């Protein structure tokens, strides 16, 4: 069992699906991993590494998200992403970012804000890979 599955299982309600994004990249694996980490850090995320190839990125205030709900806004919303880097069967490196928060504390508006925020994050990471010339593909997972 991967660390991702271990941590995700306890964060989600029974029967919930995991949403996120998977990138397939070529080239140096360490450079690709560091590209994700530096892109997230530049957006205000704090990283906690589980091992060399997996981490958790967290940003925003959990208290503000609960207390203010949708009024916490996109920038103040508490979001967590789990990051797993592993060799892809089709070649290259698969980098999977999975959402560990849904924005549910902000009601429907908060969930919409969280969805938009996650989309912005995936676009930033994809752009970083594209600019580095290593992006092979990317897509949402559900």
CATH number (domain holding residue 75): 3.30.310.80
pLDDT for residue 7 is more than 80: no
User: Does residue 3 belong to any structural domain of this protein?
Assistant: no
- The answer to whether the pTM exceeds 0.95 is no
C-alpha–C-alpha distance, residues 117 and 97, integer Å: 13
pLDDT for residue 5 is more than 70: no
Assess contact for 49 and 26: CB atoms under 8 A.
no
pLDDT for residue 32 is more than 90: yes
| Span 13-32, average pLDDT | 80
C-alpha–C-alpha distance, residues 127 and 117, integer Å: 15
User: Does residue 42 belong to any structural domain of this protein?
Assistant: yes
41 is in which domain, residue-wise?
20-132
- Angle (CA) 125 140 18, round 5°: 110
User: Does residue 1 belong to any structural domain of this protein?
Assistant: no
Domain count, the chain: 1
12-50 core/surface letters (b: 16 or more CB in 10 A; e: else)? eeeeeebebbbbbbbbebeebbebbbebbeeeebeeeeb
């Amino acid at each position: 069992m991967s660390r991702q599955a271990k941590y995700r299982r306890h964060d989600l309600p029974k029967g919930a699906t995991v949403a996120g994004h998977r990138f397939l990249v070529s080239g140096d694996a360490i450079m690709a991993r560091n590209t994700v980490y530096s892109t997230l850090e530049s957006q205000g995320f704090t990283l906690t590494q589980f091992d060399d190839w997996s981490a958790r990125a967290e940003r925003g205030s959990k208290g503000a998200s609960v207390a203010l709900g949708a009024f916490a806004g996109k920038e103040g919303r508490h979001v967590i992403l789990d990051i797993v880097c592993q060799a892809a069967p089709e070649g290259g490196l698969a980098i999977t970012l999975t959402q560990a928060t849904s924005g549910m504390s902000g009601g429907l508006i908060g969930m919409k804000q969280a969805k938009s925020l996650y989309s912005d994050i995936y676009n930033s990471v994809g752009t970083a890979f594209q600019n580095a010339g290593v992006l092979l593909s990317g897509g949402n997972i559900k």
